[in-house]
Each structure stands twice: as structure tokens, then as C-alpha cells.
Amino acid sequence: METVKKYLPLATFILVFLVFFKSCGTSSKVSKLEKQNEKLMVMLDSIYSNTAKTSELKPILENTVLWRTLEIEELSDKNKMPINHYKNEVK
């Protein structure tokens, strides 16, 4: 019991010291997460701006012959070629 009384203040000091340093590192982790969040938001905005809108797709779908699209998909599945290969071949 005497050893506990003797080392209790030292153990308490060390424990408080470790908790203090752990809490100091938390702010740096938060700032790193904020930076990653900003990068992800920029990537999300760029992806959103590059996606096709309904107003852009409607004329394309109306003007594309459906049987030609299906034929290209069938050829690409059968020959294991990318669809873009056949689309570029047609143009």
C-alpha cells in the first residue's frame, strides 16, 4: 500500500501528461481531415460539372437510331471489344 501511495502522484502526472499530448494531436488530425474534405469536394464538383445533363442527352437519344446502338452493343459483347471502337468506326 505504501508503494501505491508513493508512486500515485507520479503515475497521475504521467497519465495527465499523456492525455495532454494526445489532445494536442487531435487538432492536427482535424485539420488534415478538413483538407481531405476540401479535396473531395473539389473532385465531386468537377465530376458533377463533367456529367451530361438531361438537356444534352435528349437530342442525342432522339437522333440516334436505336437498331444501330443495339447492333454496336451486340458486336462489342460478341467480339469482346469496347463499344467506343465500333462507334468510332461508324463515324
| Same domain? 69 vs 89 | yes
| Same domain? 61 vs 46 | no
| Same domain? 1 vs 44 | yes
Q: How far is CA 8 from CA 14, 16, 33, 55, 63, in A?
A: 10, 12, 37, 73, 82
Could you tell me if 68 and 74 are in contact, meaning their C-beta atoms sit under 8 angstroms apart? no
Q: What percent of the chain has pLDDT over 70?
A: 66
- pLDDT band at 22, cuts 50/70/90? confident
| Same domain? 44 vs 76 | no
3-state secondary structure at position 51: coil
- Residue 41 to residue 44: CA distance in whole angstroms: 5
| Same domain? 43 vs 59 | no
| Same domain? 75 vs 56 | yes
**Domain span at residue 83?**
52-91
Distance of CA 27 to the CA centre of its chain: 23
| Same domain? 70 vs 46 | no
Of residues 88 and 51, more confidently modeled = 51
| Same domain? 37 vs 72 | no
- Residue 80, pLDDT > 80, answer no
